Amino acid sequence: MRMTFRWYGEDDPVTLEKIRQIPGMKGIVTAIYDIPVGEVWPLERILKLKETVEASGLELSVIESVPVHEDIKMGCGDRDRYIDNFCTTIRNLAKAGIDCVCYNFMPVFDWTRSELAFQFPDGSNALAYKHETVLKMNPLSGELSLPGWDSSYTKDGLKLLLEKYSKITEEDLWDNLKYFLDRVIKVAEEVKIKMAIHPDDPPWSIFGLPRIITCKASLERLLKLYDSKYNGLALCCGALGVSPDNDLIDMIHSFADRIHFTHIRNVNISGDRDFEEVAHHTDAGSLDIFGIVHAYHQEGYKGYFRPDHGRMIWGEQGRPGYGLYDRALGAVYINGLWEACERLEEKK
């Protein structure tokens, strides 16, 4: 496995220089953030990003994410042009030596939380989700601030989008995903880029929008839509793990050869559809992080790992979920578990 860390570009207060000092850190997960969704990423911009990352002594490992335009998800408007653009971006990324690209197929809202700084008794804070609070939220009120949400929508633009989605069922979304994969995976195979879909976070419907990548059966269905190793998964144990029905260790063993990218984080399930994000350590939450890492080791996992969201600790201020300290502790913890698995294996 290769340990990586997400970096939000030149504006990120967590600089490449800091990231490279984390023990065992090999690579960077990032994207180009200032190109409008649906437009082509020019090769020269990608090469410049690669050069910047490599100058810090790290490798540019995974692109997270190339965003999928809403017309593609809705199956309307300019979807063919946006799919062509997506394919051109994939080709350009391959020319720059990238071999893994993450994306998601969540309508309108990316990852969603009700609180950005839930306070823990030890003075740290983290992202949290309370289903009752989310049910009371009105995305059209204009007061909502969601971390994974494209805030560039105008109120009217968002209203129109939600109206359009009100006619789209889960089955429509599956059809639109298949239409997208039939075109994109062909190109991914040709240029040898492993596509990795991130599951829906949280893995249930919010604001009445359909969400389909939520459980083992849906991952199985996704992999069968286009049966190729280039149609793969970004298994996010925090996203899937908030649903107690999702057995992550079983998923790892079932889909090992199709998992190209892994997000590791722990969550504390505090109620029915309520959770807080916690430290990566197994004892800190509801997920068996050791069991998860061990399962990857047993499968001979060669893909990318990254510590996912962390808490804000030691007084750090910054992008919710994406501070330096707690994610660095997560990376070191996961590396420690991996080393233990390796050494015990050698002794057998």
208: amino acid identity, one letter: G
Between residue 229 and residue 248, which ones bind Mn ion under the rule CB under 5 A? 236
Minimum Å distance from CB 234 to Mn ion? Answer: 7
Residue with Cβ nearer Mn ion (263 or 280): 263
Residue 315 burial by Cβ neighbours in a 10 Å radius (0-12, 13-18, 19+): exposed
Minimum Å distance from CB 231 to Mn ion? Answer: 19
Minimum Å distance from CB 232 to Mn ion? Answer: 15
Which of 97, 36, 29, 16 minimizes the C-alpha distance to 62? 29
d(CA 147, CA 274): 17
Residue with Cβ nearer Mn ion (96 or 251): 251
| Pattern 252-271, Mn ion, x by CB under 5 A | -----------x--------
Minimum Å distance from CB 198 to Mn ion? Answer: 6
d(CA 326, CA 334): 12
Would you tell me how many other CB atoms lie within 10 Å of the CB of residue 208? Answer: 10
Between residue 109 and residue 168, which ones bind Mn ion under the rule CB under 5 A? none
Minimum Å distance from CB 23 to Mn ion? Answer: 22
d(CA 274, CA 203): 12
Residue with Cβ nearer Mn ion (66 or 236): 236
Quick check: 232 and 195 in contact, CB under 8 A?
yes
| Pattern 189-228, Mn ion, x by CB under 5 A | ----------------------------------------
How do strand 274-278 and strand 266-271 relate by DSSP bridges?
antiparallel
How do strand 27-30 and strand 2-6 relate by DSSP bridges?
parallel
Residue with Cβ nearer Mn ion (82 or 333): 333
Minimum Å distance from CB 111 to Mn ion? Answer: 7
- Window contacting Mn ion (CB under 5 A); options: 100-108, 163-171, 300-308, 330-338: 300-308
Quick check: 128 and 276 in contact, CB under 8 A?
yes
Residue with Cβ nearer Mn ion (75 or 148): 148
Please work out the total of residues on this chain that contact Mn ion, with binding judged by CB under 5 A: 3
Of all residues in the shown chain, the one whose CB is closest to Mn ion is 236
Edge-first strand order for the sheet with 115-119 is 115-119, 125-130, 274-278, 266-271
Contact between 31 and Mn ion by CB under 5 A: the answer reads no
Minimum Å distance from CB 264 to Mn ion? Answer: 9
Angle at which helix 43-55 crosses helix 79-95, to 10 degrees, equals: 40
Residue 239's H or E segment, with its range, is helix 237-241
How do strand 274-278 and strand 125-130 relate by DSSP bridges?
antiparallel
Residue with Cβ nearer Mn ion (74 or 307): 307
Contact between 308 and Mn ion by CB under 5 A: the answer reads yes
Residue with Cβ nearer Mn ion (84 or 247): 247
Would you tell me how many other CB atoms lie within 10 Å of the CB of residue 167? Answer: 8
Angle at which helix 79-95 crosses helix 170-191, to 10 degrees, equals: 30
Q: Which residues are marked as active site?
A: 198, 236, 263, 308-309, 322
Binding residues for Mn ion (CB under 5 A): 236, 263, 308
